[in-house]
Amino acid sequence: MSRGFNQDGVLRQDIKFHQAATVIILDPCYAKRMKKAVLALSTALFLSACYTPPDTTPAPDVSGNYVLDPAHAAVVWSLSHVGLSNYIARFDDISGVLQFDIEEPTASVVDIYVAADSVNTGLPDFDRVIATSGNGFDSGNNREIRFTSTNIQVTGDHSGRVTGDLTLRGETHPVTLDVTFNGAGKSFGKPGNTLGFSATGKIDRTQWGVTKWTNFGIGKVVTLRIEAEFNEKS
């Protein structure tokens, strides 16, 4: 009888196990894959214990004072590039506060600050041109862009229209945003409630004196898309 086989000619199970163990020990790629799999599973189990899905059914206890979470916020803007495509960029430095009243949403107030020189097109040299030009954001003289709500209108169970004053380049004009309340939940590492919102709107940039390249066919109308999470003040 050949080595490793029993009397019936069947490969012994202890031999199979020994060979499998040898593969794990001698094959570093296999061991590395197993290590990654175990790490991924452990991480998933840990995060699932710390995360709760957002609740879109409003509860009275989420009213209060909140601070914008810059790690989970984005102000993205786009405009027409001579009618051929929509040029897209964003701002990287955003802060703000929210006074939220779930029982009377129209009484809520939001105040957002954006650093004009934090514009990000993915091209650093181009960013500086947009940020510092006199007919751009003119960030040397007006570093902050600010939006302060003045009126809130409820349009649905989880939607509203927020009108506020947008100050850019030292000029202030009203802007209206369509806002969706995405829900409340517990954000990873935060002890209190976290609220999530999405908003969209459009502005005519020339109202604020941002006229750069309009004579070359670059669009005047800027489309805004905003994503924001606010963490409850402790």
Instruction: Please report the pLDDT score of residue 15 as a whole number.
Output: 42
CA neighbours closer than 13 Å in the CB half-sphere of residue 27: 12
CA angle (180, 114, 122) in 5-degree steps: 95
Instruction: Please report the pLDDT score of residue 188 as a whole number.
Output: 76
Instruction: Please report the pLDDT score of residue 183 as a whole number.
Output: 94
Instruction: Please report the pLDDT score of residue 116 as a whole number.
Output: 98
Average pLDDT of each block of 10 consecutive residues along the chain (234 residues)?
Answer: 48 45 46 53 48 56 95 97 98 98 96 98 97 97 98 97 98 98 87 95 98 96 98 92
Instruction: Please report the pLDDT score of residue 130 as a whole number.
Output: 97
Instruction: Please report the pLDDT score of residue 39 as a whole number.
Output: 54
Instruction: Please report the pLDDT score of residue 73 as a whole number.
Output: 97
Instruction: Please report the pLDDT score of residue 63 as a whole number.
Output: 95
Signed CA dihedral, 176, 65, 139, 118: sign only: negative
Instruction: Please report the pLDDT score of residue 52 as a whole number.
Output: 59
How far apart are the C-alpha atoms of 134 and 62, rounded to whole Å? 43
Instruction: Please report the pLDDT score of residue 67 as a whole number.
Output: 98
> Within a 10 A sphere around the Cβ of 131, how many other Cβ atoms?
20
What would the DSSP string read from start to end of 134-161?
TTTT-TTT--EEEEEEEEEEE-SSSEEE
Is the whole-model pTM more than 0.85?
Answer: no
Length in residues, the chain: 234
